[in-house]
Amino acid sequence: MTSTPTLPVNRTSVQWSPVCGRYLVAEGAVAGHGLLIEELPFALGPKCNGPVVCLGCYESDPELCTECGWPLCDECSRSQENHHSEWECRVFQDARARFFSLPKGSSHCPQLDCIMPLRVLLAKEANPARWDNEVAPMEHHEEERKQDADLWHADRVNIAQYLRGPCKLASRFSEELIMQVVGVLEVNAFEARTSRGYPLRCLYPYTGILAHNCVPNTSRSIYPSEGYKIRLRAMVDLEEGQPLHHSYTYTLDGSAQRQSHLRQGKYFDCQCDRCLDPTELGTHFSSLKCGQCTEGYQVPWQPTESDTSWNCSSCGACTSNPEVQAMLQSLQSEVNVVQALEMGPKRLEEAERLLRKYKSLLHPLHYIATGLRQLLIEMYGRVQGYEMVQLPDHQLERKAQLCREVLRVLNSFEPGLSRTRAMNLYEMHVPLVLLAKSGFIANKLKGGELRAPLVDAIDLLKECVEILEFEDQSSQEGVLCGVAKQALKQLSLSVEGLGSELD
C-alpha cells in the first residue's frame, strides 16, 4: 500500500523551538549532495482547486470508472493497480456517491477537492501508528485558517460535509478531524509530477517538518518510478546539528512576494538573513534605481514590514512602499502580457525590449529583470528565426551572458545542488561551444586557443550532470541529465582529439 512506513535512511534528528516548532537538524556532518532522508508518502492525490483529472494517473479529461463512476482513464481502469482503486473507489461504491461531470474545459472541479483528504483519512485507518507518530503532530493552523471565512466555509461544505454526508463516512471521521487533515495538507503537502508530467500532491510527514529559509540548504527530489519516494539531500556541506531548511516559496521572487506568499499560505513572517537584509545578501534582488541621483539604489528600510519606506543608499531620497508596489505591479503586468504571448520571435523581442526599458528603473539583478533573463534563456535557440545553429556570434554571446547573470543570483540563493542552476549550466555550455567553433572556422582561434572555451563548457556539463544525476530518470531533469551526459562524452572526445593534434 502507499502508506508504507518511513524508510530507514535518515541522517537527521527532530528538534523543537518556540519559533519553528518541530524542525530537523543534521545528525553528523554531511557533505554536499549527501543523502539525508528517504521517505514514502503517507498519501498522494490530485491538487486542490484543479480540473477534472484521472484519479489513477492524474491525466486530464479522463473517462469514468466502471465500478464507481468517478474519473478514471481507460488505461488505469484496465490495470486496477492505481491510487483510485486502492483507496476511495470502494467508498464511493458503498455510498453510491455520484460524480457530477463538469462542462469540458472547466478549470476547477470542487468535487475532487475531497479526494486527497479522504486518502489521508483512509491511510490513517490503514496505518494508525504512522498517523499517531508522524501525521497527527503536523501543523494545521486551524485558527488562522478560520480567519478566511469564505475558504473555511468552502472546505467545510465541499470536503468535510460531503465526506460525512453523501459519502456516508460520518461514523468513521468527525468534521473536526477532516478539517484538521485539510489544514495539514494545505500547510505541508508537496507538489510532485507523474512520470508523464501531470501534477499531483504528496504528504511526507517527516520531510514535511523541514523549516523554511529563503536560502535553502537541502534539495528534494521525488521519484514517481519508486512509489513517489522523496529523497532529501544536502545542497551544501552541513555541520553536525545544523538546522535543515528548504524554501516554501519560489527563491527567485522578491522579498515582498515571498513574504506575502508565506503569510497567506503558511501563516508566518519569515525572519531569515535574506529577508532581513535590505539588499538581499548583496544581490539587490528587489532594489530600485533612485530617481533623484545617478549612483544610488532604493532599498526597503525594514524589509519585512508592509509599511516600510524605501531609501536611497546614496542620496537618502525616500519613497513610500505603496508607491513602490504600484510601480512594480505595473511592470509585472507588462511582463505577464509578454509571458502570455505564443512562443515565437515576438515574445523574445518583447522580452528584450522590456529588459532594456527597465534598465533605468531596476537594479540589474532585480527579480523582474532576472525573470526576463530566464525567459530569454529558454527562447534563444528554440524559437523561429532564433534557432541555435542560426544565431550569429553576438546573439550566442548574449545567451551566454544571460546565463551568467542568472547564475550570479543562483550562487547566492541556491548554492550547490540546485536544479535551476543545473538547467542554466546546460543552457550556457551550448553558446560557448558554438562560439568556439565559429572562432576556429573564422581563423580567430588557433588550435590551442580553441581548447580553453571547450574545457570551460566541459566543466559546466560536469557540474550539470553532478546535480541532475540524483533526479528520477523519467523526469524532465532526469532526461536532461542523459542529454548532458551524452554531450559531455562527445565534447570530451573532441578535446582529447584536439590535444592529440597539438602534441
Same domain, 428 and 498: yes
Q: What is the pLDDT of residue 212?
A: 96
pLDDT, mean of residues 387-415: 97
pLDDT of 500 > 70? The answer is: no
Same domain, 307 and 357: yes
Same domain, 108 and 226: no
Same domain, 155 and 241: no
pTM of the entire structure? 0.90
Lowest mean pLDDT among 48-52, 174-178, 370-374, 428-432: 48-52
Q: How far apart are CA 456 and CA 102, in angstroms?
A: 54
Q: Is residue 181 part of a domain?
A: yes
pLDDT digits (tens, 9 = 90+) for 183-222: 999 999 999 999 899 999 999 999 999 999 999 999 999 9
Same domain, 60 and 192: yes
CB atoms within 10 A of CB 74: 11
Which of the two residues, 161 and 448, has the higher pLDDT score? 161
Q: Is residue 487 part of a domain?
A: yes
Residue type, 431: P
Q: What residues contact residue 465 under an 8 Å CB cut-off, 6+ apart?
A: 481, 484, 485, 488
Same domain, 360 and 439: no
Q: What is the pLDDT of residue 6?
A: 47
Q: What is the pLDDT of residue 501?
A: 55
pLDDT of 264 > 80? The answer is: yes
Q: Is residue 406 part of a domain?
A: yes
Same domain, 175 and 111: yes
Same domain, 184 and 131: yes
pLDDT digits (tens, 9 = 90+) for 342-387: 999 999 999 999 999 999 999 999 999 999 999 999 999 999 999 9
Same domain, 353 and 420: no
pLDDT digits (tens, 9 = 90+) for 84-127: 999 999 999 999 999 998 776 678 899 999 999 999 999 999 99
pLDDT of 2 > 80? The answer is: no
Could you tell me the CA-to-CA distances from 90 to 85, 115, 168 in Å, in that order? 7, 13, 12
CA-angle at 138, arms to 132 and 141, nearest 5°: 135
pLDDT digits (tens, 9 = 90+) for 426-437: 999 999 999 999
Q: Is residue 482 part of a domain?
A: yes
Same domain, 416 and 496: yes
Same domain, 293 and 361: yes
| Total count of domains within the chain | 4
Q: Is residue 324 part of a domain?
A: yes
Q: What is the pLDDT of residue 210?
A: 95
Closest CA to 249 of 223, 275, 279: 275
410 is in which domain, residue-wise? 391-503
DSSP letter at 503 equals: -
Q: What is the pLDDT of residue 19?
A: 83
Rounded to the nearest integer, the mean pLDDT of the chain is: 93
Same domain, 238 and 330: no
CA atoms in the 13 A half-sphere facing the CB of 201: 22
